[in-house]
Amino acid sequence: MLKSLLINQKKVPVPVPVKTLTQALQWVEDTLVPDGHTITRIELDGRILTDGFEDDENLGESIMTSESLLVIQIDSPIELAVQTMEAINNLASVIYSGLKILAVECWQSKPIDKPRELSGIAGDVELILDLVSHSAGLIDPTTIETAAINGIAVMLKRDSKSLQLAISNSDWKASARILLNRVEPLLNDLISETESLQIKVMALNNSAALARAGS
């Protein structure tokens, strides 16, 4: 049976009989996950378990022993919001740093020579949009203003579609213009906005923590 596990990098003893992975996760959900928090990562003996693994009966019935290493990450919406803002900021910064070079390559390329990084950039912009959409469910707009980042996302989505169309037509000069004149300034705004939101979310979290401590 499982004797202990790691939750947010802290060792937690398991005082009840836990024989399978399903039982272990049920116990964690019932006793250790605070209201409003979510299990965001599960790792068993070095294997990261993905969404939907519960449907795998063989995995769910995996026998837990005293040697099993079960690692779980539990996060609050505020913590997830900070992590999401950081992910958006990092990805936007990476794209932004190489955008001018890619635009020059696009401008100089012949129609039959597709710039190597162009499809990757388009995919990364789509990922940013997915992350912004995900963050919308984590930040309460009544306590933190999110109109700016949402507005940037709307414009970036529009320009992403234009970029995809230019790529499908092998129009590299149009791709270059979209990257430099439309995508680049939006990414610059997005980098600044995510940094600002991170600070606001963390400040709100600290205020809530102080309020709880004083009550």
Summarised one tens digit per residue, pLDDT across range 152-188 is 999 999 999 999 999 999 999 999 999 999 999 999 9
pLDDT tens for 60-97 read 677 888 888 999 998 888 888 888 999 999 999 999 99
- Average pLDDT of the chain? 87
Q: What is the predicted pLDDT for the residue at 18?
A: 87
User: Could you tell me the domains of the chain?
Assistant: 4-75 (3.10.20), 78-214 (1.20.120)
> At CA 120, angle to CA 153 and CA 97, rounded to 5?
70
* 61 or 212, which is more confident: 61
Q: What is the predicted pLDDT for the residue at 210?
A: 60
CB atoms inside a 10 Å sphere around CB 117: 16
Does the pLDDT of residue 56 top 60, yes or no?
no
Q: What is the predicted pLDDT for the residue at 76?
A: 82
* Calpha distance 88→127 (Å, rounded): 9
